[in-house]
Structure 1
Amino acid sequence: MLNMIISNLQIAIAGRVLEEGETEKPISGAMVEIIAMPDKFQEILSLKALQYGLQWEKMSDRPDRKITASDGYFYFVDLPQGIYTLAASVPGSRSQYGTKDFTVEEDSSNRIITVIDDIDLFPVGIQGQVIDSDSNEGIGLAKIQVDKSTEFTLSNFQGNYRLGVEISTLQKNNKVTLNVSATGYDEVSEVVDVDLTKVTEKNLFLERQAN
């Protein structure tokens, strides 16, 4: 199917979105966006945004935004040469994300060479243990909540926790603030650097409240 598409269009970047793991299952309906691009392509997008006005942000099929087909494939056409970064996510899924860099080049005849590669979606989240800073023992039923969000989880009786992170709640440079609280302990806030290619490991420490 992809070979037929390439023969009919000037494809610059093509590939599939796959679920990370042993099976590498193709994902249909994933959103693939170009999030970093050369200046020439940015100028094209700016003109398109003016053309479509308020509809632009709501469009799922744009020169810089595609939805994967039933077999997980996506493709972008007529891209100027340069370095591009693509990001893939599943609408409605709070914790799946993947990125990859692509380089679009022209050959000696000024023909764009198609770049074909897959993007794996990884779980995005934070896991670790909530720990008593004095005894170094795990704290059960501690609440770990993303700041200014309804996203939270509770630690188990050993203090272990796992929290899925919604992509939209990430701050600049993929940081997130966690508010951590438990009965008998002072509440703390921790800024965590979230890795978009795997679950981030982070232990959280609480101090007992003064009597």
Structure 2
Amino acid sequence: MLELSIVNQQIAIAGKVLQGETQKNISGAIVAIIEMPEKFRAILSLKALQYGSRWEKMPERPDRKITSNDGYFYFTNLPPGEYLLEASLPTSPTRYNEVKTKVQISSPINGKISTTMADIVLSPTGIKGRIIDANEPKKLITNAKVKIQDSGDTTISDQQGNYRLIGLESPKSGQRNITMIVSATGYQQASHLLNIQRGQVISEQNFALKPK
């Protein structure tokens, strides 16, 4: 659990970055302050002068943090005012949408900063649905293989016939055309052409497989 105080520092903003579909913690995400009060902007300008050419290459700075293994991030000693945070996942930049969120920092009371909590949810690109028997709609097909043609993205349907492909590649703007291929023992293979868009999960993309 994140402690809300650090030696000689006060945490002003704290939160977690979560995966939108599963609510799992995301480590290695970058959370950056992209809009800020003028007082904090002036502090950053002085820091940039202090560090020189190293400033832009620093992985973490007063205005930029990387989430820990449990998804946490925090910013310390921020002046009061409105901040705009942007979260992204640099290890999978084409699989998740960048997300922006506004945070308001109150003025200190008796010299103490009140911590503002700000969890951020990254929206993945994905598809989910159910696989059934075409002749017996109530019969769910388990262990069916679902894959995206010409890619390494694949999954297996569970005991309820459900499948989920999350974190698919998709361009930042526009759509990606993909071909889904579904196969299962004792059934004819099925395929379907689909358009996906970054940051959106297509639900109820179901398949009814015909027995051989």
How does the TM-score come out when normalised to structure 1? 0.59
Q: Write 1 or 2 for the structure with the bigger share of helix.
A: 1
Q: In the TM superposition, what is the alpha-carbon distance from 1:51 to its structure 2 partner?
A: 1.4
Measured against aligned partners, the alpha-carbon deviations of 1:119-143 in whole angstroms (never above 9, x if no partner) come to 1101379xxxxxxxxxxxxxxxxxx
Q: In the TM superposition, what is the alpha-carbon distance from 1:158 to its structure 2 partner?
A: 8.1
Q: In the TM superposition, what is the alpha-carbon distance from 1:154 to its structure 2 partner?
A: 3.6
Unaligned runs of 5+ in 2: 127-169, 180-190, 203-212
| Distance in 2 (alpha carbons) for counterparts of 1:41 and 1:11 | 15
Instruction: Look up the match of 1:68.
Output: 67
Q: In the TM superposition, what is the alpha-carbon distance from 1:199 to its structure 2 partner?
A: 3.3
| Distance in 1 (alpha carbons) for counterparts of 2:41 and 2:68 | 25
CA distance change for structure 1 residues 108 and 76 in 2, over 3 Å: closer, same or farther?
closer
Q: How many residues align?
A: 145
Q: 3-state SS of the aligned residue for 1:33? A: strand
Instruction: Look up the match of 2:51.
Output: 52
Q: 3-state SS of the aligned residue for 1:57? A: coil
Q: 3-state SS of the aligned residue for 2:27? A: coil
| Distance in 1 (alpha carbons) for counterparts of 2:57 and 2:95 | 22
Instruction: Look up the match of 2:145.
Output: none
| Distance in 1 (alpha carbons) for counterparts of 2:197 and 2:6 | 45
Which runs of structure 2 are paired with 1:2-41 in the superposition (5 Å)?
2-3=2-3, 5-6=4-5, 8=7, 9-21=9-21, 23-41=22-40
Unaligned runs of 5+ in 1: 126-144, 165-197, 202-211
Residue type of the alignment partner of 1:73:
Y
Q: 3-state SS of the aligned residue for 1:92? A: coil
CA distance change for structure 1 residues 100 and 124 in 2, over 3 Å: closer, same or farther?
farther
CA RMSD of aligned residues (A): 3.0
Q: 3-state SS of the aligned residue for 2:56? A: helix
Decide which of 162, 174, 179 is 2:196's aligned counterpart: 162
Instruction: Look up the match of 1:95.
Output: 95
Residue type of the alignment partner of 2:91:
G
Q: In the TM superposition, what is the alpha-carbon distance from 1:95 to its structure 2 partner?
A: 3.4
Q: In the TM superposition, what is the alpha-carbon distance from 1:162 to its structure 2 partner?
A: 1.9
Measured against aligned partners, the alpha-carbon deviations of 1:66-114 in whole angstroms (never above 9, x if no partner) come to 1111100001000000001111111121232222111111244242111
| Distance in 2 (alpha carbons) for counterparts of 1:152 and 1:101 | 28
| Distance in 1 (alpha carbons) for counterparts of 2:18 and 2:176 | 28
Answer yes or no: is 1:86 the counterpart of 2:120: no
Which runs of structure 2 are paired with 1:124-163 in the superposition (5 Å)?
153-154=176-177, 160-163=194-197
Q: In the TM superposition, what is the alpha-carbon distance from 1:37 to its structure 2 partner?
A: 0.6
| Distance in 1 (alpha carbons) for counterparts of 2:74 and 2:171 | 35
CA distance change for structure 1 residues 84 and 111 in 2, over 3 Å: closer, same or farther?
same
Structure whose CA Rg is larger: 2
Residue type of the alignment partner of 1:99:
K
Residue type of the alignment partner of 1:30:
A
Residue type of the alignment partner of 2:65:
K
| Distance in 2 (alpha carbons) for counterparts of 1:52 and 1:66 | 17
Measured against aligned partners, the alpha-carbon deviations of 1:163-206 in whole angstroms (never above 9, x if no partner) come to 44xxxxxxxxxxxxxxxxxxxxxxxxxxxxxxxxx5399xxxxx
Residue type of the alignment partner of 2:57:
K
CA distance change for structure 1 residues 85 and 124 in 2, over 3 Å: closer, same or farther?
farther
